[in-house]
Structure 1
Amino acid sequence: MSPEFLLTTLIVVLAPGTGVLYTLATGLAHGTRLSIAAALGCTLGIVPSLLAAITGLAAIMHTSALAFQVLKVLGVIYLLYMAWRTLRDSGALAVNSDDKGDEHPRPSLSRVVATGALINVLNPKLSVFFLAFLPQFLDPTGASTIPQMLVLGGAFMLMTLVIFIGYGAGAAWLRRHVVGRPSVMNWLRRTFAGAFVLLGAKLALAER
């Protein structure tokens, strides 16, 4: 595994995207524990795209306008749904207390993980990215292609998990300074909702 691969992966993972946004929002609203669940979900959401790239399904999707458009539309709808829930104070930034009678019950770990996974599963550009990205770092004199891509994909996922946990932990630390300030939370809610809309628009304009 080359230093170039690790450095490029670090840059890619650090770049703001839907997974980063969701992990930050979860950390701000619910603290460290659920932000780790969000990071885990976003990381698990990489698996289908990675397997698609390894098996060549990504190449099929890349050449099939219908398959790409269907997945893209589903992804855009889901991002707009996330924005709508955030604005309604019922999504990732619905700040909850630990009281059983709270208006917004704390989401379960499984729900947070599933939401994070769906964010990446419904991104058709991810499998195409892996198809273009991983082969650049294969060693032609080494093992066969599939084991090498599995190792590279595993390293990419591990780095994603670690960095996203760091993002979530930072947001959870900031939480104590903003949760008790409704004006700040309202501003954050609008900002995150707007970011989800922008990411949805970016995906809607994406070309194969």
Structure 2
Amino acid sequence: MPDLHHLLLFVAAGLLLNLTPGPDVLYIVTHALRSGVRAGIVAGFGITAGCFVHIFAAAVGVSALMAASSTAFTVLKWAGAAYLLWIGLRMLFARPSPGASKTPDLIASSADGSSASGLKGVFFGGFWTNVLNPKVALFFLAFLPQFIAPGTANTPLAFLLLGSLFNFNAIFVNVGWAVLAAWMARRMGTVQRAMRWLDRFAGAMFIAFGVKLALTDAPTR
């Protein structure tokens, strides 16, 4: 494990990286704006759960195998790109229900995303958005070893501990995004009418992220 100085550096770098806008932040903000802070927080927890998959994969060497195999990277890349495009297209072309804010049934099965079944859909939408993104797996594989001392006796355990710390800190950032977005929504008098344009914008952004992921080259050894 790193010393205190490197540990604080790791925490600071992790917080800055989590603040960087991307598909995860967009997913949280979209749900918080549309369905309130609870939906945004649940979206963040889904993303956090997806990160744990990549952390465990890095710890046991699965991510290293994927980094070394262009075939494995390509399969996961296309699966992730297709999922992002699917989300984007559904949001872009879904029709809002009269007199209510709309949530695509891909992400939430209820009209407003606030019921138990709707929140379950929000959670798993965030989970799969992260799990199917090979760039997240490669990020952990590239970022965490920089803070693991050479000759560490139990490298997998160090991966798990640092990855869990990174994910724990990310929870506060994700909750912050959800609270901020929900606060903004409460102060928008035209938020109901704006939801349709929000969906179009978010859908276009998810499509852009999907295309960008599809065009990503496999890492070279």
Q: TM-score, normalised by structure 1?
A: 0.87
2:22 maps to 1:22:
no
Identical pairs, percent:
37
Structure 1 unaligned segments of length 5 or more: list them.
Answer: 98-102
Alignment of 1:165-180 (within 5 A): 165-178=175-188, 180=190
Per-residue CA deviations over 1:132-171 (Å, capped at 9, x if unaligned) read 1111001347662222221110111111111011101111
Query: Post-superposition shift, 1:189?
Result: 2.2
Number of the residue aligned with 1:100: none
Q: The residue matched to 2:187 in structure 1 has which SS?
A: helix
Alignment of 1:28-107 (within 5 A): 28-89=33-94, 95=101, 105-107=111-113
C-alpha spacing 1:193/1:157, structure 2 compared with 1 (3 Å): same
Distance in 2, Cα, partners of 1:12 & 1:78: 23
Per-residue CA deviations over 1:61-99 (Å, capped at 9, x if unaligned) read 1122221111111111111111112123469xx8259xx
Distance in 2, Cα, partners of 1:203 & 1:57: 20
Contact 1:19 1:42 in 2 (8 A): yes
Per-residue CA deviations over 1:16-36 (Å, capped at 9, x if unaligned) read 111111000000010011111
What letter corresponds to residue 81 of structure 1 in structure 2?
A: W
* Aligned-residue CA RMSD (Å): 2.3
- Aligned length, in residue pairs: 201
Distance in 2, Cα, partners of 1:65 & 1:141: 29
- Which of 9, 12, 21 does residue 4 from structure 1 map onto? 9
Q: TM-score, normalised by structure 2?
A: 0.83
- Which of 171, 181, 205 does residue 195 from structure 1 map onto? 205
Distance in 1, Cα, partners of 2:41 & 2:191: 24
Number of the residue aligned with 1:115: 125
Distance in 1, Cα, partners of 2:110 & 2:18: 31
Number of the residue aligned with 1:127: 137
Distance in 1, Cα, partners of 2:210 & 2:88: 9
Distance in 2, Cα, partners of 1:193 & 1:165: 22
C-alpha spacing 1:111/1:198, structure 2 compared with 1 (3 Å): same
Distance in 2, Cα, partners of 1:179 & 1:167: 20
Q: The residue matched to 1:45 in structure 2 has which SS?
A: helix
Structure 2 unaligned segments of length 5 or more: list them.
Answer: 104-108
C-alpha spacing 1:202/1:173, structure 2 compared with 1 (3 Å): same
